[in-house]
């Protein structure tokens, strides 16, 4: 199995149940069963002006969701970082896109009680080619652009091939954001 590149002693931002920052804890402490610490995660959907969604396939060697397609890039909020800073850092770490913190656009926030996640979901407009991206950590074996409609059809036909999604509601928010940018 692939070893997750993030060390278990990495310090992550933690929160109380209302979302107030509390003492930080290590990734190892946070990922106990059952989960005992609320922590932050970010998701970033990458789209282009043709309203295509960049999806990536996870390595078969990963312990979590091996060989499945995913619609977003993201990860945990490190101690001392904001959600938006974490979104920018994840894009750089996972695919080599360096962005200013102001560039990812917030489209959704929420709370996942079973996993004890507070999340923020962003969209980032990228007009480059998949070949411009750098998948250096071995977690991703393939990436390609999907028209949002085609992605949704694929997800409905083959739900076990996907490990996360971009809901119709979030697709609508993404379309509205891209439309505003084109004005």
CB 179 within 8 A of CB 125: no
Q: Where are the domains of the chain?
A: 11-182
The pLDDT of 58-77, averaged and rounded, is: 92
Instruction: State the burial class of residue 38 (Cβ atoms within 10 Å of its Cβ: 0-12, 13-18, 19+).
Output: buried
Range with the lowest mean pLDDT among 5-14, 15-24, 41-50, 152-161? 5-14
Instruction: List Cα–Cα distances, 122 to 37, 46, 96, 174, in angstroms.
Output: 23, 9, 17, 9
Q: How far apart are CA 172 and CA 174, in angstroms?
A: 5
13 SS3 class:
strand
Q: Are strands 105-112 and 140-147 parallel, antiparallel or unpaired?
A: unpaired
| Model pLDDT, residue 183 | 78
What pTM, to 2 d.p., does this model score? Answer: 0.91
**CATH no. of 11-182:** 3.90.79.10
Confidence of residue 119 (pLDDT cuts 50, 70, 90): very high
CB 12 within 8 A of CB 6: no
pLDDT reading at 154 higher than 90: yes
Q: Quickly count: other Cβ atoms within 10 Å of residue 62's Cβ.
A: 19
pLDDT reading at 137 higher than 80: no
Confidence of residue 114 (pLDDT cuts 50, 70, 90): very high
More confident residue, 4 or 48: 48
Structure token digits, residue 34: 């059952």
Q: How far apart are CA 22 and CA 2, in angstroms?
A: 32
CB 87 within 8 A of CB 44: yes
The pLDDT of 57-65, averaged and rounded, is: 89
Beta strands in the chain (DSSP E): 11-15, 21-26, 38-47, 52-58, 69-70, 73-76, 105-112, 117-125, 140-147
Q: How far apart are CA 57 and CA 71, in angstroms?
A: 9
pLDDT in tens, 68-111: 999 999 999 999 999 999 999 999 988 989 887 678 999 999 99
pLDDT reading at 139 higher than 90: no
């Amino acid at each position: 199995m692939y070893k997750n590149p993030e060390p278990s002693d990495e310090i992550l931002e933690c929160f109380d149940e209302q979302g107030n920052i509390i003492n930080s804890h290590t990734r190892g402490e946070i990922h106990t069963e059952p989960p005992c610490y609320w922590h932050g995660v970010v998701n970033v959907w990458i789209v282009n002006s043709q309203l295509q969604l960049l999806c990536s396939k996870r390595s078969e060697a990963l312990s979590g969701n091996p060989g499945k397609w995913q619609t977003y890039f993201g990860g945990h909020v490190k101690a001392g970082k904001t959600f938006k800073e974490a979104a920018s850092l994840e894009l750089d770490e996972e695919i080599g896109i360096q962005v200013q913190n102001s560039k990812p656009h917030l489209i959704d926030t929420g709370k996942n009680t079973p996993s004890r996640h507070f999340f923020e979901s962003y969209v980032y407009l990228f007009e480059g080619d998949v070949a411009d991206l750098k998948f250096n950590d071995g977690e991703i074996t393939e990436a390609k652009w999907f028209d949002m409609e085609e992605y949704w059809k694929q997800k409905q036909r083959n739900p076990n091939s996907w490990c996360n999604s971009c809901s119709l509601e979030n697709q609508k928010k993404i379309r509205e954001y891209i439309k505003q940018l084109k004005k």
